[in-house]
Amino acid sequence: MKNGMKKSLAGLSAALCLIAGASAAKADVNLNGAGATFPYPIYSKWFAEYNKMHPEIRINYQSIGSGGGVKQFTEKTVDFGASDAPLSDYELGLVKDPSTHIPTVLGAVVLSYNLPEAGSDLKLTGPVIADIFLGNVTKWNDPKIAAVNPGKTLPDTAIVVAHRSDGSGTTYVFTDYLSKVSHTWKGKVGTGKSVSWPAGLGGKGNEGVTGLIKQTPGSIGYIELGYALQNKLPYASVQNKAGAFVMPSIESVSAAAAGVKMPEDYRVSITDPDGKDAYPISAFTYLLVYKKQADGAKGKALVDFLKWAINDGEKLASALYYSPLPDSVAAKVNQTISQISVAP
Amino acid sequence: MKGDRIFEGSTRFFAILLILIVGAISFLLFKESLPAMRKFGWQFPFSSVWDPVAEDFGAWPFIYGTVVSSVLALLIAVPLSFGVAIFLSELAPPYLRTPVAFITELLAAVPSIIYGLWGLFFLVPWLRNSVEPFLIKYFGFLPFFKGPPYGIGMLAAGMILSIMIIPIISSISREVLQAVPNHQREAALALGATRWETTRMAVLRFGKTGLLGAVFLGLGRALGETMAVTMLIGNRPEVSLSLLAPGHTMASVIANEFTEASGEIYLSSLMGIGLTLFALTLAVNSGARFLVWKVGGKAGRE
């Protein structure tokens, strides 16, 4: 009896050795990443598609939020990070090893509203949006809104402002825009992933704000383009720097990115850009990678994936309401990726 | 003999482990909140500013929101729960007793996000379109019912919390009442007391401390509830007397802002709020345990 058990144990361990040996021969590579929730749909699509072509490479991504992603990237507990807002100089200083931002796709922040009387072609300007979110404009029939919507009769309904209650890249982009177009906003509130809101109700996540807008007559809030489209909420066209009223769309966001002068480290804000076709409230989202890859197999897999994502993966973006990188930026990013050094 | 020693040793180990875990949690919360305490000092719990851009933080709106929403929940839930408990233990015919008790306890098992969704899609429109306009029209002179009827706000949060704590309070109260010895009731009845007098003088008076314990356990849940409250309270760090105005709670602000909080002081302030909430719920729950223990019997060991 005892002997038999020993034999079967020996057999079992031999089998285990075989399995381990087999997988080592196939050289499975597991890449781990963490960060922003906003690009999660496109990233998970990319990882799944890439895994179909290269079954030995598995990329795990935890969409725990940019803050957590940056923290884990700084502590080197992940192979790559992801963030909606570019890292500040202070945050970048905490990252010990040289690293780089890789812009992947662009997203637009739109102003959705619940006011059937306004139809689906409400127009807003930067200063008016700032006044609404500062709580200075409190009625829909305010002369400031009427002035940019000639021919529209808006009702005497109270404006209910809806904003994000959780920290988010979306809030960062939106407040970054407002700080550029309104001195009062810059002085009183400022730019950040969460800010001290002068007015309104807070909802958790894009879905929370979407829910608030749907539920509350007279409300206006900022959400990502995809959420407005999926929930069939109307959204406003916004006046850009050139004076044109532009609807947010895949194209008008790419136009905003194409007009910007791109610095070497990609840390750039593209809100309130030049160009008459550019939608003014949009931003890049980034992957964070180390410039020197110490693990050869992992490093090679990561670089190959990035190349594929920037050149082929971009084509999958618009179906998920993200704007692909404009060609000028993609060319530059390709160059940056090829400069990542991988240990042999 | 040897088996006994192993048994005793291992159970003792687990018991001590539990105490160590509680200690470790408080130590970590304390340690992590030190930078905020150092920067803001005693102002931290009393300051109403919450400005992540300027890195200026105070916990008062969150403490206020947590306490007010929980007290509001108790005001609604306690009379209802006691009614349910008294009916089930004193009045209900046996064929009704088991199913009703079962369903009340089932309510406790509903995940809080379901309550939140129900609140957002049913309770909030109802409050906004019917209840709040009524309150503003007839009671608008009171400071508690001022402002526009958003639907979302302190009142919605308090109401959803009350629904969530009714099963806890009512099922524990029922057990407390059932633990009241029958000779208490018989003695009162023998003296010619009516059913209501029996319940009031013999049963409720006897179970007083246990009932208080049930209330405190409900309060403990209300204080720490996060998801449903976040969906309904409006998440606005502002202290307003009006129940129609949006508010914020300690649990909500941590759930909302922790993931994206960057900067030492910001994180540390959130930890400070966590420490405050931990201390508050710990105090409330130990109070409750103590009271329930004092009653002893079946309910005491729940």
Digit-by-digit pLDDT tens for chain A (344 residues) are 445 545 555 555 544 444 444 444 457 899 999 998 889 989 999 999 999 999 999 999 998 888 888 889 999 999 999 998 888 888 888 888 899 999 999 999 999 999 999 999 999 999 999 999 999 999 999 999 999 999 888 999 999 999 999 888 899 999 999 999 999 999 999 999 899 999 999 998 888 999 999 989 999 999 999 889 989 999 999 999 999 999 999 999 999 998 888 898 999 999 999 889 999 999 999 999 999 998 889 999 999 999 999 999 999 999 999 999 999 899 999 999 999 998 88
- Reading the block at residue B170, the tokens are 């009512």
**Secondary structure (H, E, C), B254-293:** HHHHCCCCCCHHHHHHHHHHHHHHHHHHHHHHHHHHHHHH
Contacts of B49 in chain A (CB under 8 A): 196
Chain B nearest-CA residue for A205: B256
Q: In the 8-state DSSP scheme, what is residue A316?
A: G
Residue environment code for B256-270, b if the CB has 16+ CB neighbours within 10 A, otherwise e: bbbbbbbeebbbbbb
Residues B24-49: tens digit of each pLDDT: 999 999 999 999 999 998 889 999 99
Contact A201 B234 (CB under 8 A): yes
Report d(CA A221, CA A213) in Å as an integer.
Answer: 7
Task: Tell me which residue of B109, B108, B101, B98 sits closest to B84, measured CA to CA.
Answer: B101
Beta carbons within 8 Å of B28's beta carbon, 6+ residues apart: none
Residue in B260, B266, B270 to test binding to A, most A beta-carbons within 10 Å: B260
Task: Tell me which residue of B184, B216, B186 sits closest to B290, measured CA to CA.
Answer: B216
Compute the C-alpha angle B86/B90/B92, nearest 5°.
95
Q: What is the rounded average pLDDT of the residues B207-214?
A: 88
Report d(CA A281, CA B255) in Å as an integer.
Answer: 27
Other CB atoms within a 10 A radius of the CB of residue B12 amount to 10
- Reading the block at residue B238, the tokens are 């502002």
As a residue count, chain A comes to 344
- Which B residues in the span 149-208 are in contact with A, Cβ-Cβ below 8 Å? 150-152
Angle between helices B264-295 and B154-178 (to 10 degrees): 30
Measured between CB atoms, which of A65, A190, A208 is closest to B259?
A: A65
Residue environment code for A202-231, b if the CB has 16+ CB neighbours within 10 A, otherwise e: bbbbbebbbbbbbbbbbbbbbbbbbbbeee
Place of tokens 């409050």: B127
Measured between CB atoms, which of B49, B125, B252 is closest to A215?
A: B125
Beta carbons within 8 Å of A112's beta carbon, 6+ residues apart: A210, A213, A220, A221, A222, A223, A228, A233, A234, A235, A236
Report d(CA A255, CA A258) in Å as an integer.
Answer: 5
Q: Which residues pair with B50 in a beta bridge?
A: B57
Contacts of A212 in chain B (CB under 8 A): 152
Angle between helices B250-257 and B264-295 (to 10 degrees): 140
SS3 A233: coil
Query: What is the C-alpha radius of gyration for chain A, rounded to an integer number of angstroms?
Result: 24
- So what's the pLDDT on residue B106? 86
Does ipTM exceed 0.90? no
- Reading the block at residue A342, the tokens are 């991988």
Other CB atoms within a 10 A radius of the CB of residue A316 amount to 16
- So what's the pLDDT on residue B140? 87
Task: Tell me which residue of B213, B211, B206 sits closest to B290, measured CA to CA.
Answer: B213
| Main-chain phi, psi angles of A244, to 5 degrees | -90, 145
SS3 A63: coil
- So what's the pLDDT on residue B108? 83
Q: What is the rounded average pLDDT of the residues B242-263?
A: 90
- So what's the pLDDT on residue B207? 87
Chain B nearest-CA residue for A207: B231
Residue in B50, B56, B232, B262 to test binding to A, most A beta-carbons within 10 Å: B262
Distance from CA of A202 to the nearest CA of B (A): 5
Contact B52 A194 (CB under 8 A): yes
Q: Is residue B145 within 8 Å of B59, Cβ to Cβ?
A: no
pTM of the model: 0.84
Distance from CA of B265 to the nearest CA of A (A): 14
pLDDT at B295 over 90: no
Other CB atoms within a 10 A radius of the CB of residue A54 amount to 14
- Checking DSSP bridges between strand A57-62 and strand A282-290, what pairing results, if any? unpaired
Contacts of A195 in chain B (CB under 8 A): 51-53
